[in-house]
Amino acid sequence: MTEENKNELLAQITALREDIKELRIDMDEHKKIGAAIYQKIQKFVETAGESTNKVVATALRGIQPEIQKAVNEGMMDAAEHFGAVAEKVGDKHNQEMTGLWRLLPMASALICLLASLAGGVIVYFLMPKMDSDIAVRLQTGAFFESVWPKLNKSEQDKLMAIAEGKETEVPNKKGKKL
């Protein structure tokens, strides 16, 4: 790059810097103008709003009794119409429901009776029948419940081994296996 090109490039950069400074100054001026315009518009809206509110409030004060009277009359008409419609619907509903209210207690009693009958049938068929084998097992269980706490640990272990099938021969009192 030659000395002449460097000087030319430096001149262009300097010119750009000056342009940027001018743009910044212009932008600052535009911001100030925009802020001033915004403040004036806001003040105008506030003033216009206040005066509009005063005018409307004054106008409404003059016709308020008439508006209140019209609203009250409309509400009374609507209430009368609603009452008449509700009465007609209520009468029709009462006529339809009278028969249903008579059937409701009978239907409830019938449902309870059928549910009880179904529960009894299920219990009867699903419970095991008491036969002699079950009676013997119950008696043996009751016997072992009363005797078990009186046995020492080695005797309890021997009985558990027999019950689990680990020991097939039961020793007698003399220590001989039967």
How confident is the model over 13-33, as pLDDT tens digits?
Answer: 888 888 888 878 878 888 888
The answer on 14 and 87 residing in a single domain is yes
CA atoms within 13 A on the CB side of 94: 6
CA distance 51 to 45: 10
- Answer yes or no: do 119 and 137 share one domain: no
What pLDDT sits at residue 104? 73
Q: How many helices (H) and strands (E) does the chain have?
A: 3, 0
Pair (141, 176) in one structural domain: yes
Q: Of 112, 127, 142, which one is at a domain's C-terminal end?
A: 127
Question: Is 144 found in the same domain as 78?
Answer: no
Whether residue 94 is found in the same domain as residue 145:
no
Q: Give the pLDDT of residue 97.
A: 62
**Range of the structural domain that residue 34 is part of:** 3-127
Residue 171, SS3 per DSSP? strand
Give the position of tokens 């207690």.
Answer: 105
How many independent structural domains does the chain possess?
2
Rounded Cα distance between 94 and 75, Å, is 28
122/160 same-domain check:
no
> Quick one: 98 and 175 in the same domain?
no
Question: Of 91, 108, 127, which marks where a domain is finished?
Answer: 127
CA distance 144 to 167: 19
Q: Are residues 58 and 19 in the same domain?
A: yes
Residue 94 token pair: 């009462």
Q: Note the pTM of the prediction, 2 decimals.
A: 0.27
Q: Is residue 32 located within the same domain as residue 72? A: yes
Residues paired with 64 in a beta bridge? none
> Which residue, 110, 127, 144, sits at the end of a domain?
127
Q: What is the pLDDT of residue 98?
A: 63
pLDDT score recorded for residue 29? 82
Residues 120 and 137 in one domain: no
Q: Which of 178, 157, 158 is nearest to 169 (CA)?
A: 178
Q: Enumerate residue ranges in the chain where pLDDT < 70.
A: 1, 60, 90-102, 167-178
Are 60 and 81 in the same domain? yes
Q: Are both 39 and 107 inside the same structural domain?
A: yes
